[in-house]
Amino acid sequence: MPFPRSSGILLHPTSLPGNYGIGELGKEAYDFVDFLHRSSQRLWQILPLGPTGYGNSPYMSYSAIAGNPLLISLELLRERGLLESQDLENLPPFPLDRVDFDVVIPWKTSLLQKAGKRFFGGGDSIVYTQFDGFCRGNSGWLEDYALFMALLNLYEGSPWTHWPDELRHRHPSALQRVREELKEEILLQKFYQFEFIQQWLNLKRYANSLQVSIVGDIPIYVAHNSADVWSNPSAFKLDPETGNPTQMAGVPPDYFSATGQLWGNPIYDWKYLEKTDFDWWLKRVEGVLYLVDIIRIDHFRGLEAYWSVAAGETTAMNGNWIKAPGAKLFGAIKDKLGSLPIIAEDLGDIDEEVQQLRDSFGFPGMKILQFAFGTDSDNVHLPFNTAENSVIYSGTHDNNTTVGWYTNDANDYEKHQLEQYLGHSLSLHNVSWDLIRLAYSCVANQAIIPLQDVFSLGSDARMNRPSTTEGNWSWRYRREALTHEYSDRLSYLVKLFGRDRG
């Protein structure tokens, strides 16, 4: 589905500023939308919104549909009387430029628990009716998710494969027993989702009212330790006794790692999914489209053929490409949901079959300017080789910032080629905006820039380093950074290069 010519900013909500250690869906989120509007931006791209586990990666979530309770605005809870002003005093010494997850998670969870207990201890029948309607309307995923999280807390974070046999194998009598035993914790988990989705949808409606669309993200795989795998084991390649993956996901050696990336997620049992008319995937896409306007499918190539690594391997080097029924999957999604507002993350080891799958459904692909200058004029990421139906980026959340790339990653040849392309010498002060201008001037219908590049920040503002497990996903900006100078520069480029047609 081609999109109108437009531009946007890549920023995950955890990176928003604020007083409580992590970005939230309150005032600062609305201020960011106002900044997008002032800057003539039509797109806000985010990372997956799900609740995160070990490593805090939004790509390793406990649920494919649920939202991250850490994003719930404490101020909005206070305004509704679910927290008191003194609850938000005597804050831990949160850093301003980073999320200290080890401090934020226990502190904020205790306040969310307090808010939940006040919610259920109150007497607002109208809100209870709304909550009951939310639970019934989302029961298809919410019941299993809330129970999974309650059990995860009961077993102190141990993965579901370490739970007692009757729970690991989901014996009905055992599930019924723990639902009764853990009913208060299950209600709290449902309350968190009720609050998250209310706050998020209010924010989305505000963004849409200012002609800003939300670009969400679907990781192709889900975490093994998730409600999805625990409640749908037949959809994955698992050992029927232990529940452990028999085949793991990843990619072969690439730009980011000489030994490949071994993600460890379980591979889908595509034969089973096809027999069910891809019901699990249909519900997943439908659930995410309820929260966003456009979906970016991460690792799109894995829906044409995926890299499968046997359990027990320690790197992704020894794997095999196996065909996936991507055309049948997208056909089923289109039959149920109509035209597909999907962006294909078609980076990495891409062959003609992947391109054919992308193009047969009209999905725009992705181009990255940081990848454009390492070879010759045939490089597919160069602006003059880019198709209109594509999205161009200076870099993504997996790349270094542009200043960091220029300082630490780009070799002399790449710097020389970039200078030749621009027709002037480069400076560290201007290189981010040189790439922003290149992206905006490109024929690609959409241009999306990480906020770090708007601010011309260095490597310390990088969001993620693939194949590493520590120090990622934590960058935040300060509220005073969203200046009118940046808005004016972005608006000027939008009008200059006709990116106000969306």
Q: Give the separation between CA 318 and CA 460, rounded to whole angstroms.
A: 33
- 384-418 burial, b at 16+ Cβ within 10 Å, e below that, comes to eebeebbbbbbbbbbbbbbbbbbeeebeeebeebb
Tell me the two tokens of residue 315.
């790197």
501 class by beta-carbon count within 10 Å (0-12 exposed, 13-18 middle, 19+ buried): exposed
Cβ contact 213:43 at 8 Å: yes
In this structure, how many other beta carbons lie within 10 angstroms of the beta carbon of residue 120? 12
Cβ contact 113:184 at 8 Å: no
Which letter does DSSP use for residue 486 in this model? Answer: H
Reference 414, options 448, 447, 368; nearest CA is 368
> Is 298 an annotated catalytic residue?
yes
Q: Which residues contact 284 (CB under 8 A, 6 or more apart)?
A: 64, 65, 218
Distances (CA, A) of 336 to 141, 142, 220, 330, 363: 19, 22, 20, 10, 17
3-state secondary structure of 61: strand
Task: Please measure the distance between the N-terminal and C-terminal CA atoms of the chain and give it in whole angstroms.
Answer: 14
Tell me the two tokens of residue 5.
């010519």
Cβ contact 251:301 at 8 Å: no
Residue with tokens 């999974």: 148
Among candidate residues 28, 269, 298, 304, the one labeled active-site is 298
> Is 217 an annotated catalytic residue?
no
Residue with tokens 């009905």: 172
Among candidate residues 144, 398, 434, 453, the one labeled active-site is 398
89 class by beta-carbon count within 10 Å (0-12 exposed, 13-18 middle, 19+ buried): exposed
In this structure, how many other beta carbons lie within 10 angstroms of the beta carbon of residue 241? 9
Reference 443, options 363, 401, 389, 366; nearest CA is 389
Reference 92, options 80, 72, 78, 106; nearest CA is 106
Among candidate residues 345, 346, 434, 453, the one labeled active-site is 345
Distances (CA, A) of 137 to 67, 131, 175, 267, 414: 16, 10, 21, 29, 53
Tell me the two tokens of residue 44.
């806000």
Task: For the sheet with 319-323, list strands across it.
Answer: 261-266, 247-251, 305-310, 319-323
Residues serving a catalytic function are 298, 345, 398
